[in-house]
Amino acid sequence: MTARATDRNWNDVYFTSQDGLRLHARYYPAAAGHRRPVLCLPGLARNARDFHVLASHLSDPRNPASRDVLAVDYRGRGLSAWDPNWRNYNIQIEMQDALDLLTIAGFSDVAVVGTSRGGLAAMMMACLRPGAVGAVVLNDIGPIIERDGLVRLIAYVSRVPLPATWDEATTLVRDMHHRAFPGVPEEHWTEIARQWFNEENGRPARGFDPELSKSSSLTDGPMPELWPQFRALSRIPTMAIRGEFSDVLSQETLSDMAIAHPRLETHVTRGQGHAPLLRDRATVLALEEFLVRSEAGVTATRVALRHG
């Protein structure tokens, strides 16, 4: 399943955080607003572009299950402003920024699709603002985070070089990730590189503030377990996606999640590691089918967002 990054089917939305930063999100409007809208929250150093294929499918007017989609650029990522205080790069503040966006959009009872760090934010939302969340999809994250995978992610944030050309960017991204993502077709890596880097004057630019690495030093001491936060999802429909080769969410943890949340639906994305890219047909359709099942009786309120 593909949707070209050049397919301009979204509106750029800019809004101001409570502490004055100019933040960005993509809004993919659906033809009708009777389905539960989706809020997409990316991983640690990722951005709204990661969800383009998924959001394009979910909001496609030809899709009978079409729905509005909002995809967030956290502060310091994508097209959002960098924060002068790196300590504000934390999940609680990023969650509050996302909740503020929902208020601006007039959305409530949304389905949150959270990749990695975004899934942690989704669990926090369910604890702190339960009325905002009607369903959750956890993309390769759970209450136990494998230490080796977290160390690898932090090393990526700290050391990823800035390529000089888009060809170099494609080669870099493919070489760094192809072993964990053997199921990704070769022709997709060019678009993936353009998701992960910004563009300035036709060249790759950093897609995240390098200061983000300072806020990610979480590897000292034992890793916290987040079972109370996960159990906050027990009242709402929840789906957990795991990459077949994930080093962040283990199969054992996924099985334990299904015991703790008896209605949990699970899906394994074949040929991919952490975190699944949400662009293969099997995963996109499984996610959409879950959303449809989860929203019986739900009527969404739709508020059009302006172009940024």
Q: What is the pLDDT of residue 219?
A: 45
C-alpha 161/C-alpha 171 separation (Å) is: 12
CA 153, distance to chain mean position in Å, is 15
Contact yes or no for 163/190 (Cβ under 8 A): no
Residues 6+ apart with CB under 8 A from 8: none
Q: What is the pLDDT of residue 153?
A: 85
Q: What is the pLDDT of residue 155?
A: 82
Residues 6+ apart with CB under 8 A from 113: 38, 39, 40, 41, 51, 54, 137, 139, 278, 287
C-alpha 98/C-alpha 87 separation (Å) is: 18
Contact yes or no for 7/272 (Cβ under 8 A): no
Residue 225 inside a domain? The answer is yes
C-alpha 202/C-alpha 290 separation (Å) is: 39
Q: What is the pLDDT of residue 154?
A: 82
Residue 58 inside a domain? The answer is yes
Q: What is the pLDDT of residue 4?
A: 56
The single residue listed with the structure tokens 């996924």 is 254
Q: What is the pLDDT of residue 55?
A: 98
Residue 278 inside a domain? The answer is yes
Bridge-based pairing state of the strands 38-41 and 110-115: parallel
C-alpha 93/C-alpha 108 separation (Å) is: 19
Query: pLDDT tens across 121-179, in order?
Result: 999 999 999 899 999 999 999 999 998 998 888 888 888 899 999 999 999 999 999 99
**CATH for 213:** 3.40.50.1820
Residue 285 inside a domain? The answer is yes
Query: pLDDT tens across 88-111, in order?
Result: 999 999 999 999 999 999 999 999
Question: Number of helices (H) and strands (E), helices first, in the chain?
Answer: 9, 10
* Number of domain units in the chain: 1
Residue 135 inside a domain? The answer is yes
Structural domain range at position 282: 11-294
Residue 124 inside a domain? The answer is yes
Q: What is the pLDDT of residue 142?
A: 97
C-alpha 124/C-alpha 113 separation (Å) is: 13
Q: What is the pLDDT of residue 215?
A: 79
Residue 301 inside a domain? The answer is no
Q: What is the pLDDT of residue 152?
A: 86
Low-confidence ranges of the chain (pLDDT < 50): 218-219
Residue 308 inside a domain? The answer is no
